[in-house]
Amino acid sequence: MTDLRLYRPRVSTWWWTRKRTYFVFVMRELSSIFVAWFVVYLLLFVYAVGRGEAAYQRFLDWASSPWVTVLNVVALVFVLLHTVTWFNLTPQAMAVHVMGQKVPAWHIVAGQYTGLVVVSGFVFWLVTR
Amino acid sequence: MSDGVMRAAHDVLIVGGGGAGLRAAIAIAETDPRLDVAVISKVYPMRSHTVSAEGGAAGVIADDDSLDEHCYDTVSGSDWLGDQDAIEAFVREAPEELLQLEHWGCPWSRRPDGRIAVRAFGGMKKMRTWFAADKTGFHMLHALFQTSLKYNEVRRYDEEFVTRLLVDDGRVHGVVAIGLMTGRIQAVTAKAVVLCTGGCGKVFPFTTNANINTGDGMALAYRAGAPLKDMEFVQYHPTGLPFTGILITEAARAEGGWLLNKDGYRYLQDYDLGKPSPTPELRSMELGPRDRLSQAFVHEVEKGRTADSPYGPIVHLDLRHLGEKLIDTKLPFVRELCLKYERIDPVHELVPVRPVVHYMMGGVHTDIDGATPLGGLYAAGETACVSINGANRLGSNSLPELLVFGSRAGRAAAEYASAAGSTPAVVEAQAADEVRRLERDLLGKGPGTESIAAIRDDMQATMEEAAGIFRTGPAMAKGADTLAELQERVGNVGLADMSRSFNTELLAALELANMLDISECILEAGMQREESRGAHQRTDFPARDDERFLTHLLVHRNPDGTSQVEHFPVTITRWPPGERVYGR
Amino acid sequence: MTRRRVEPLVWLMFSAGGVLAAVFLPILVLLFGLAFPLGWLDPPDHEHLLAVISHPVTLVVLLGLFVLMLVHSAHRFRYTLYDGLQIKAQRTVAVLCYGAAIVGSVATLAVLWSAAQAS
Amino acid sequence: MADSIRLRVSRYRPDTDSEPRWQEYDVPLRKEWTVLDGLNHVKNEVDTTLSFRWSCRMGICGSCGMNVDGEPKLTCGTFLSDYAPGPVMIEPLANFPVVRDLVVDLSDFMEKLPRVKPWIIREDDHRTVEPDVEYLQTPEELDAYKQFSMCINCMLCYAACPVYGLDPEFIGPAAVALAERYDLDSRDQGNRERLDVLIEHDGVWGCTFVGECTRVCPEHVDPASAIQRYKLKAAMETVKALLLPRGAR
Ligand SMILES: Cc1cc2nc3c(=O)[nH]c(=O)nc-3n(C[C@H](O)[C@H](O)[C@H](O)COP(=O)(O)OP(=O)(O)OC[C@H]3O[C@@H](n4cnc5c(N)ncnc54)[C@H](O)[C@@H]3O)c2cc1C
Ligand code: SF4
Ligand code: F3S
Ligand code: FES
């Protein structure tokens, strides 16, 4: 009788650099950092607004400093990655039925982009009015 | 056990985890939950060859259908060689079994009102073939396998290869098996053993069958002293893809596909199979029985009316007129297979096809309850010959056969096991012998002068030559001589692989030995049957001869390894032998 | 009855946060992160902003938005640490991630509340 | 087209090797040859000691999965010509313990599968048929679960899923797809029982929706979808249980 000597491969720490799809996945997940960053940023913004005109102005000055700008550009890229991937995955995550018929995936995706446009328009209107 | 042969003991041991084996296991678990049942299989059950079945399973359910009509189609399809008592039981129980499977979750295709849908099939006068699109066997097998998981009492030995039956005094007491992962050889004893090891298509070079279909169960039974029945009847399916031998299901023709020769002519009309009509007619033309269609192909080759391909002559299957929608709903797998393996889209193009070895009508001789003449040994499924298929099986009769006779054999084995005594001590010595044979004569032997693959190729070529769609006495005799030489040569095979773990070379050697024995039986029986009936067509005896051969042939193994053929009466109940009429 | 577990609820919040982040963040980052500070657009005047922010509806909306987005990112980051860096101290990671989200949520409440009082 | 192609095959023999090593073979390159045909050529003509699983050679038995150039593939449906001029790297399926050469150990899945109760559960648990009574199911009801019933247990999805690679406790894509298959079957009433299993920590929650399982699935089962849908269902059930305490369902 022989004992089984199984070879158990180890997953390397860098597994996600080996394949494009894995890499995109990890980038997608890292968008979470920038989501958190922007929540913090917005909080600082609200805080400044609450503190008065001068604080608000100081905030805007700080926000236009190069490093904050760079951070926000990167954040925008990751946030867009989040939006696109999230929209693309939604049809997989839920099956929507309307009158017994399964709604085709592209309808759901298109619906979300419509939502994006409407929400963006509304926010834009609200703050620039 | 002495000699360090590991041992496990059960009440009933089922060899094979395909449709028949799993059905038997569940039947036993349901009959008597106290019985200790085990299933041993050389592949994981869901890999068994039942998974490949495409077209469907016949069972009378439609309002305009009747049990008698299914019986008659099967009897005439068998060229009157099927046992009519078995056929009647089969036809009666098939719908119940199929419905049972429906209750176990099989996703049968449905009619708009939610009832089971049925389709036409070759040689059947009514629409009675249940189907799950064109992956019927896959869905049936997975439904059975998954359902079997709920019976905790069913023990499984997955990926264990049975090499021998343990027999004492005309009774079977278990098996010896090699665990593939560990290479461990162990004896598994049981009060009753049910062989459900499937077909043996791999004895031929060009077959729809999977790699595992090496007829192990037939060889095991034969060597243990149980006779094989009707081995000369090998079914050629008329529509296999060239090169791979992948099956294009008969359902493609049942849905309205045409067979065309190189001139685009529906040639079947020249072979007494009816007149062409635009929509499919039951028991006519493309919906004739498989033996007749395959024979017609050979005649077309002789007339020079087939097209050429790198892999021999072909004809065309035309599905274009069915339209994309029908193909995608009823025959999606056919389209997928054509696209992948032929790079052809059947929606727009003709599919090249040729006859291909598909099914073994013969097998281990059993009675209507799956019992073989050996005490405690049962068989069911393609490895068994009950027989309902006689000289030619009708498409879609095999899947329900697995269920009906799987259940029956399971129940009978359970009953036998409940009454049987304990395992005699002599089987220990036998098991030890077998371990020695495997370890010393095979694993320990070292390199030899012959290669497994070369002998296998020669065997397959010999069988195609000698036992093809048309046969002659002299060709079969010559084939038998070649097989005898191959039996010699196989003694000089050595194994380069001496490791224990997953030694597939050892398996190939054991399977080759099994296939050689089966090949000999096929030719032996073929030579004895001096007539033409169903799938056994002899150009030197072109007519059916009910006087001499309305009988089964049983091949027994003599102690010296030679074989001996015996006649065994066919049971006729209500349908006296008549002419097989199709298309009229 | 199903055993009560927190995973499903956290996951639900994660998903809700994901949806909100996907539809709200692009425009918010664009406007507040880049366009206003860099002067691509004239920043809204303080009074208008204060009015919007201190409106009770805005308060509730922003609170929901921020909290859910924080949970979203905490949850996602937690699994990124598990899988991407194969961090074995899973419990610690979870406590830190969700802890941060909770701290952030409390801060959100405080900031929003004080801003609302300011007007 | 060149007339031969090189296979770089991962070999591991537990009797002698402590870890896998590469071995190269040149095989004929023919347009109708699959990777499996190449391996069989090696097995029959070149090196009889190479071990791998295969059976149906038509993409339905699920036994021939291997990593081909790093992607989990059914080798019987993967053509050598797509990798010309080569070499083609052939490794055992990733994320599983290797038994020998290209053969991996599937016991983990075989143990997990029964946990999700992949069989029809009925309150009136019939063990035998009532003759003539069929459970009706309309084609639409069939379509609801059909896709998830196509799984051939080939394990490509497990080989592709990094989460499974990192945490073998994770029940994995195919098992959840099969649970979902029965949940969505109009004949089944076992949702509750399966939920109790999948709502556990090593059930669906480990999945971070990498989506690779779906991308590599040869049968278009879309297990990623099954898992996310399951999460939604589990979450809804939990909310319901919170809002309606004491089993008011
Ligand atoms: C391509 C194809 C399509 C078909 N389509 C149809 C159809 O549409 N309708 C129809 O009615 N019929 C069809 N058939 C026929 C039918 O599928 C088979 O006859 C049937 O599935 C055989 O089932 P079985 O249970 O007897 O054996 P299998 O399913 O072949 O199972 C055999 C089992 O035995 C085990 N085994 C074998 N040898 C050993 C050993 N030495 N030790 C341990 N275990 C062993 C194997 O592991 C396996 O589990 C088709 C056949 C083919 C090839
Ligand atoms: S879900 Fe797809 S990839 Fe996974 S085992 Fe099933 S068939 Fe294979
Ligand atoms: S790849 Fe793995 S993480 Fe989820 S979506 Fe598929 S199971
Ligand atoms: S050999 Fe069956 S799936 Fe490839």
Which of D104, D69, D64 is closest to D218 using CA atoms? Answer: D64
Q: Which atom of ligand 1 is nearest to the CA of B399?
A: 11
Distance CA D58, CA B306 (A): 26
Residue C93 touches partner A, C-beta closer than 8 Å:
no
Distance CA A43, CA A36 (A): 11
| Measured distance between the N- and C-terminal CA atoms of chain B, rounded to whole angstroms | 65
pLDDT tens for each residue of B20-29: 999 999 999 9
Domains and CATH numbers, chain D: 4-104 (3.10.20.30), 107-248 (1.10.1060.10)
Distance between A4 CA and the closest CA of chain B, angstroms: 6
Nearest CA to ligand 3 atom 3: D207
Answer yes or no: is C32 within a domain.
yes
Residue B494 touches partner D, C-beta closer than 8 Å:
no
Which of C22, A83, A20, A31 is closest to D211 using CA atoms? Answer: A20
Q: Which residue of C has its CA nearest to D163?
A: C83
Q: How would DSSP label each residue in B317-374?
A: EE-GGGHHHHHHHH-HHHHHHHHHHT---TTTSPEEEEEEEEEES-EEE--TTSB-SS
Answer yes or no: is C2 within a domain.
no
Which of C115, C67, C20, C57 is closest to A126 using CA atoms? Answer: C57
Residue C99 touches partner A, C-beta closer than 8 Å:
no
> In chain B, what percentage of residues exceed pLDDT 70?
99
DSSP secondary structure code for residue C36 in this structure: T
Is any atom of ligand 4 closer than 6 Å to the C-beta of D55? yes
**B4, B6, B181: residue with CB nearest A4:** B181
B43 to chain D: which residues are within 8 Å by CB?
53, 55, 61, 63
Distance between B105 CA and the closest CA of chain A, angstroms: 22
pLDDT tens for each residue of B275-293: 999 999 999 999 999 999 9
Q: Confidence band (pLDDT; 50, 70, 90) for C1?
A: very low
pLDDT tens for each residue of C25-62: 999 999 999 999 999 999 999 999 898 888 889 899 99
pLDDT tens for each residue of B433-489: 999 999 888 888 878 889 999 999 999 999 999 999 999 999 999 999 999 999 999
What's the token pair of residue D77? 């449906």
Answer yes or no: is C35 within a domain.
yes
Nearest CA to ligand 1 atom 4: B53
Which of B543, B470, B578, B566 is closest to B79 using CA atoms? Answer: B578
Annotation marks residue B556 as catalytic: no
> Residue D150: what pLDDT?
97
Q: Confidence band (pLDDT; 50, 70, 90) for C2?
A: very low
What's the token pair of residue A57? 């102005």
Domain span including residue C18: 7-118
Residue type (1 letter), B312: G
Annotation marks residue B49 as catalytic: no
Across the range A58-73, mean pLDDT stands at: 95
Half-sphere exposure of D101 (CA within 13 A, CB side): 23
Q: What is the mean pLDDT of chain B?
A: 95
Domains and CATH numbers, chain A: 15-93 (1.20.1300.10)
Answer yes or no: is C12 within a domain.
yes
Distance CA B394, CA B390 (A): 10
pLDDT tens for each residue of B329-352: 999 999 999 999 999 999 999 999
Q: Confidence band (pLDDT; 50, 70, 90) for A102?
A: confident
Checking if the pLDDT of B4 tops 70, the result is no
What CATH number did the domain enclosing C91 receive? 1.20.1300.10
Testing ligand 2's pocket by substitution, the residue of D108, D151, D210, D214 carrying the most ligand atoms inside 8 A of its CB is D151
Distance CA D204, CA D183 (A): 15
Please return the burial class of B91, using the count of CB atoms within 10 Å of its CB with bins 0-12, 13-18 and 19+. Answer: buried
Q: What angle do CA B401, B403, B409 make, to 5 degrees?
A: 90
Work out how many domains chain C is built from and give that number: 1
DSSP secondary structure code for residue B450 in this structure: B
Subunits with 3+ C-beta pairs closer than 8 A to C: A, D
Under an 8 A CB cutoff, do A2 and B6 touch?
no
Answer yes or no: is C1 within a domain.
no
Place of tokens 């969700």: C98
Answer yes or no: is C41 within a domain.
yes
Answer yes or no: is C30 within a domain.
yes
Q: Is residue D137 a contact partner of residue D67, using CB atoms and an 8 Å limit?
A: no
Q: Which residue of D has its CA nearest to B341?
A: D32
Across the range D101-115, mean pLDDT stands at: 97
